[in-house]
Amino acid sequence: MSGRQRVATDAAARVIEVQFVERAAAGSLEGAAASLGVSPAVIVKTLVVKRHDGSFLFALIPGDRQISWAKLRAVVGVNKLRLPEASVALEATGYERGTITPLGSTTAWPVFIDSSIGGRIALGAGEPGLSAFVDTTQLIEGFGARVADISEEPAH
């Protein structure tokens, strides 16, 4: 099953409407946002985060912000989290970096969504050159996601 099919099947099972939009490869967040006709904040990064016990979680962060490790550790209730190597993320989700989404992941991990995310957002769609637009409320409800302040402005 293709990444797109996995995303569509999981979204339907969770009652999340998804719209797939093809886009050209982009060298930057700004380029990707421009190709989709949205602001960078609408593009939501799905980060695979590894806990010290070897389990994982998904952290969804607006494209124009970065993860706040201190905030995420406090919300999760652990003192050690990290981003795994690309090969580990692929093994954990079945998706390459840049296409990762909690939808259709080979393993269902807890989902944490930054509290600044809302409305219609664009996620990875399980394969390159594709974005999946979903409604944030449906995504939260479909995953029983935890909404919390887990991001910060990037340091410039």
Domains of the chain, start order: 3-152 (3.90.960.10)
Give pLDDT, residue 25.
77
Would the pLDDT of 27 be above 90? no
Give pLDDT, residue 15.
97
Would the pLDDT of 149 be above 90? yes
List 132's β-bridge partners, or say none: 20, 123
How sure is the predictor about 28, in pLDDT bands with cuts at 50, 70 and 90? confident
Q: What is the mean pLDDT of residues 60-66?
A: 96
Q: For residues 58 and 110, is the Cβ–Cβ distance under 8 A?
A: yes
Q: What is the mean pLDDT of residues 145-154?
A: 96
Would the pLDDT of 26 be above 90? no
Q: How far apart are CA 103 and CA 137, in angstroms?
A: 14
For residue 130, which phi and psi values (nearest 5 degrees)? Answer: -145, 140
pTM for this entry: 0.94
Give pLDDT, residue 60.
98
The token pair at 22 is 């093809």
How sure is the predictor about 140, in pLDDT bands with cuts at 50, 70 and 90? very high
Question: Of the given ranges (5-19, 25-39, 117-131), which has the lowest mean pLDDT?
Answer: 25-39
Give pLDDT, residue 20.
96
- The amino acid occupying position 65 is R
Give pLDDT, residue 81.
96
Q: What is the mean pLDDT of residues 92-106?
A: 92
Give pLDDT, residue 70.
97
